[in-house]
Amino acid sequence: MRKNIADKMLSGASLNYRKWLAQEAAALALTMEDFNDLDGISPSAILALAKIVAYGETDLARLAIACDLEPADLQTHLDGLCDFGFAVETVNGFSATASGEKVFVALGRNMIIRERFELNGRLEEIRILFRELHSDSEF
């Protein structure tokens, strides 16, 4: 399940994560004591964290490809994750901490709730259009 959630986060295309990920992180920082520093983490860093949590220890080159970032830019985000205690640098790359895993689970849950809400809204719009289509005799 973690891999599916991480893949959905990393796809970005259907979710437009940059639009909402920072908002979700800030909300968690306000509501959950363990995540006070989360509002200081960029969406790109959270994507890297998602990949690390779901797929395990990963090196910089693979993370850069998965997150569609230049390695130098990604290194800055990873340094931030390490500074906040969400990841650690290892001999083979980067690994998530227990706090990093908690962040991923909380954001993943919120992501699925948000996506479901947005899909329901789009579905209702289509239903309204469908009803209008059938009630309009000229169409």
Dihedral of the alpha carbons of 7, 8, 14, 16, in degrees to the nearest 10: -90
- Tens digits of pLDDT across the chain (139 residues): 766 766 666 665 545 666 677 777 777 777 776 666 666 778 888 888 988 998 899 999 988 988 888 999 999 999 999 998 899 999 999 999 998 998 888 888 887 888 788 889 889 988 988 888 888 666 5
**Which pairs count as long-range contacts for 57-64, CB under 8 Å and 24+ apart, including other chains?**
57/90, 57/92, 57/93, 57/94, 57/95, 58/93, 58/94, 59/92, 59/93, 59/94, 60/93, 60/94, 62/93, 63/93, 63/94
Domain total of the chain: 1
The verdict on pTM exceeding 0.75 is no
pLDDT at residue 103, rounded to an integer:
85
Tokens 């500074």 — which residue? 83
The enclosing domain of 74 has a CATH number of 1.10.10.10
Round to whole Å and give the CA distance between 87 and 37.
13
Domain holding 98, by residue range, is 2-135
pLDDT at residue 116, rounded to an integer:
86
Nearest CA-CA partner of 46 in 25, 19, 31: 25
